Amino acid sequence: MSNKYLHKAKDNKKDEFYTQLPDIENELKHYKKHFKGKVVFCNCNDTEESNFWRYFALNFKRLGLKKLIATHFGNGIPSYKLEKNNRGIIKTPLKGNGDFRSEECIDLLKKSDIVVTNPPFSLFREYVAQLINYNKKFLIIGNINAITYKEIFELIKENKVWLGINLGRGISGFIIQKHYELYGIETKIDEEGKRIVSTNNCLWLTNLDNSKRHEDIILTKIYAGNENLYPKYDNYDAINVNRVKDIPSDYKGAIGVPIKFRKGNDGKDLSVNGKSPYCRILIKNRRLK
């Protein structure tokens, strides 16, 4: 039920979902080595109210940051930027509304090293494309379905971006505004009166190295002698695996695993005996030569 909030935001181009501080802390603790001497830009924030700004401002010295910059989309009205360095915080009006695509925000992006924020889900493709175009390091939150977007999947496939540490229920929920109706079982109002919705359908996307991307999946299943358990697709040279834990450790070819979509050689959905399984991604075991 709670995922309806994300669909509603995308349909209405309203992306007022604010990240909770504990979720930021739980993810950022894995990347401390990347921030020393860097300029961090939070370009999709509610400035002082942003928990991203709050996190980096509170941990400025511990992380060894050179500078922290934050801008906020003013929704049609002039906005402002915040800059923090070792001497203090400076607040400066922006000429425009703080849209990340504006010329003045792009100028700030060019001067930054790492971007960390919760970008508009409805503009996720365009947002990531901008980061890649300007060759920026980043750590951002998105809907888990974003990895099915052609543009994002190609980046993952080319090893230019990868998943962060936490996803799904590893992200506890988002703060939503009063005009969003609270419904579903995974919504609440916390002790501070903030309205929280737990979508359980989001992830961190990054091109900062982390320990998780170097972990091998422990494989315990064997293909040889159990071929009947791994049917081949009708329209692609690969075997189908219904659960990640059932991936065979000895199969060198392509393997279709949950949860993403993939077309066969004929342009149609992958199928086994004429029936299409749930969405799949095709993988190979790079440890097997």
Q: Taking residues 164-173, what's their average pLDDT?
A: 90
Residue 36 in tokens: 């020393």
Q: Indicate the helix (H) or strand (E) that contains 204.
A: strand 202-206
Arithmetic mean of pLDDT over the chain: 85
The SS3 of residue 213 is helix
| The pLDDT of residue 180 is above 80 | no
Give the least confident one: 12-16, 71-75, 123-127, 168-172: 12-16
pLDDT of residue 183: 57
Q: DSSP for 85-131, please give it.
A: ETTEEEEEE-SS---TTSHHHHHHHHT-SEEEE---GGGHHHHHHHH
Q: What are phi and psi of 110, to 5 degrees?
A: -60, -30
pLDDT of residue 261: 46
Question: 230: which DSSP letter?
Answer: S
Q: Which residues contact 50 (CB under 8 A, 6 or more apart)?
A: 18, 42, 70, 72
In the chain, what are the domains?
4-212 (3.40.50), 216-289 (no CATH)
Segment 139-152, tens digit of pLDDT = 999 998 898 898 99
pLDDT of residue 288: 84
Start-to-end CA span in the chain (Å): 45
CA atoms of 245 and 254, how far apart (whole Å):
16
pLDDT of residue 264: 55
- 8 A C-beta contact, residue 253 and residue 238: yes
pLDDT of residue 255: 93
Largest CA distance in the chain: 69
Q: What percent of the chain has pLDDT over 90?
A: 57
Q: Taking residues 181-202, what's their average pLDDT?
A: 73
Segment 106-131, tens digit of pLDDT = 999 999 999 999 999 899 999 999 99
Among candidates 277, 217, 259, 266, which has minimal Cα distance to 237? Answer: 266
pLDDT of residue 283: 80
CA atoms of 224 and 226, how far apart (whole Å):
5
CA atoms of 64 and 25, how far apart (whole Å):
16
Q: What percent of the chain has pLDDT over 70?
A: 83
Give the least confident one: 154-163, 232-241, 265-274: 265-274
